[in-house]
Amino acid sequence: MSPLIRRLFVVTLGLAILASLHAQNSSESDPLRPFLDGKAPEILREIPFTAPVPDGITVRQVVFRSREDSEIFAVIATPKSAGKHPGILVVHGGGGSAEVDKAMAWAQRGYVAVAPDLPGIAEPKKLTVSKGKWSALKYGENRWVATPDASESVLFDAVLSAMKSLYLLRAQPTVDTQRIGVVGVSWGGYMTTMVCGLAGDQVKAGFALYGCGFFDLGSQSSPANTTYNPSLPRTGLARLSPEERTRWLNCLDAGRRAPGMKAAFYLAAATNDFFGWPRAAQATLDAIPGEKNHLFAPNANHKIPVPGGDIASTEKPDPNFVPTAFQPYPTPKGQKANWMSMEVPYFDYYLKGIGKPLPKVKVLPGQDPKVASFSVTAPHPLIQVEVYWAKAAPEALKGDDIKKREWLALPATKTAEGYQAQLPPEAGDWFALVSDDRPVTVSSDMIHLRSDEPLTTSNIQQ
């Protein structure tokens, strides 16, 4: 059986398992389901916004209730221009708090934006307004808990805050509820995947940076910590008992929620990332049933140094900007405005209907597994087409193995069907990476060549 055919068989089996898990999660045994009513949360009070507000937008600060004894702070930034606008939920990363600057930047682009605090992901010391049972905890404490069920985890509160914020966004009077997006980084990338999976057709497009699901295939299940010992601090998934681990995964793992996704989805991953390991990222992509795209940034750890990726804090708006009905003000740039510049053309295409789609890369079957063959559909001219390969990874991957793994570039040759590159005999994994002139960058799936290496969804635990 060829590696590609074997991989398709594994993926099909994995998706069947995922569908079963999704059905289980849709039952009354799922502690999240009673909270997912689609209703905007109760606004407890508003807080005056005293910082400078850019031209053309308004900013509100609200405190809402997510569940009993939990008060969540969120900012709502809205364009002043008339009519309905697309909406975007902006979710911060680990150790952060509500992304006020990014919400205002999206509003300047013509989006209604909501940016909440996410307890369980946020640094508790930064949550000066949000309050709950988690307020006195240290960062990360009580995250890996699912006894008697997953509602005891502070990450459960993070998911609730994100979902209630989505309902708050959809309830804004100037929001077009058919054009809703979600964007987030790191733990916020995980949350983007989770929200898109839970929300179904309430979200049209998602863009996750570094975050994914299937923590049992990645950093939170490192083989260095696989021996269960109840006396150890609960600092990772692997230190839970088998029963508690299953409860946690079934409720709070974003990969288990991915089969419910209806949104178009983009996952920006890094090959050497300490958080979203490539095999977990690929398993998440395999579990998404609909439209999806992604990139693997080679030799990068929690960064995306490719065209359209990481942006500098000093970037300035375009001095030659011409106002349009879709974009009445200059697009803000820099780290306060976005995590990646690609976010803007992505959401403009899916939520505003302007611009063109991102390229798509498809791996082509071939007789020789050491020949990387792929096709590219690209509406813009390509500026870079490469193949990256790495030696076979150890069977028992550890964090240092991921961070130190070297990915080497090969030029791709144009063929009648697309592109190809001759891989060296020692190649264990490869993927194609292409960039166009906007610039945006996408990848092919990551292909595993070793016949004896466990593959992504084949490791899913029921």
**Cα–Cα distance, 447 to 433 (Å, whole number):** 13
What was the pLDDT predicted at 256? 96
pLDDT of residue 393: 80
CA 140 to each of CA 68, 120, 153, 256: distance values in angstroms, whole numbers, following the listed order = 21, 7, 10, 22
Distance CA 330, CA 316 (A): 10
The edge-to-edge listing of strands for the beta sheet with 360-363 is 360-363, 371-377, 419-422, 413-414
Secondary structure (DSSP) of 177-230: EEEEEEEEETHHHHHHHHHHHHHGGG-SEEEEES--S-GGGSGGG-GGG-S--T
Which two three-digit tokens encode residue 268?
A: 């920006």
d(CA 7, CA 112): 41
Which residues, 6+ apart, have CB-to-CB distance to 335 below 8 Å? 311, 312, 313
Q: Residue 10's pLDDT is what?
A: 47
Enumerate residues 6+ apart whose C-beta is below 8 A from 78.
Answer: 57, 58, 59, 60, 85, 107, 112, 113, 172, 174
CB 419 within 8 A of CB 374: yes
| Tens digits of pLDDT across the chain (462 residues) | 444 434 543 443 454 345 444 444 444 489 999 999 999 999 999 999 999 999 999 999 999 999 888 999 999 999 999 999 999 999 999 999 999 999 999 999 999 999 999 999 999 999 999 999 888 899 988 999 999 999 999 999 999 999 999 999 999 999 999 999 999 999 999 999 999 999 999 999 999 999 899 988 877 764 444 444 444 444 577 778 889 999 999 999 999 999 999 999 999 999 999 898 998 999 999 999 999 999 999 999 999 999 999 887 777 777 787 877 666 677 788 889 999 999 999 999 999 999 999 999 999 998 899 999 999 999 999 999 999 999 988 766 666 788 899 999 999 999 999 999 999 999 999 999 999 999 999 999 999 986 434 334 333 332
User: Tokens at residue 42, please?
Assistant: 């109760």
Tell me how far apart the alpha carbons of residues 79 and 45 are, in angstroms, rounded to a whole number: 22
Q: What is the DSSP string of 104-116?
A: HHHHHTT-EEEEE
Residue 419 per-residue DSSP state: E
| Cβ neighbour number for residue 422 with a 10 Å cutoff | 12
Question: Tokens in use for 340?
Answer: 């990646």
d(CA 245, CA 154): 15
Residue 454 pLDDT:
37
CA terminus-to-terminus distance, the chain: 26
CA distance 225 to 278: 19
Alpha-carbon distance 107 to 76, whole Å? 9
H or E segment and range at residue 432: strand 427-436
Q: If we measure between CA atoms, which residue out of 381, 372, 376 comes closest to residue 407?
A: 372
Biggest alpha carbon–alpha carbon distance for the chain: 65
Q: Are 89 and 169 in contact (CB under 8 A)?
A: yes
User: Under 8 Å CB-to-CB from 34, ≥6 apart: which residues?
Assistant: none
Q: Let me know how long the chain is.
A: 462
Q: What are the tokens at 457?
A: 């969804």
Please give the DSSP secondary-structure letter assigned to residue 437.
Answer: S
Q: What is the pTM (predicted TM-score) of this model?
A: 0.89
Q: Is 393 helix (H, G, I), strand (E, B) or coil?
A: coil
**pLDDT (0 to 100) of residue 14:** 53
Packing angle, helices 154-170 and 187-199, rounded to 10: 60
Q: Which residues pair with 116 in a beta bridge?
A: 74
CA–CA separation, 379 vs 355, rounded Å?
Answer: 10
Q: Which domains does the chain have, with CATH numbers?
A: 30-358 (3.40.50.1820)
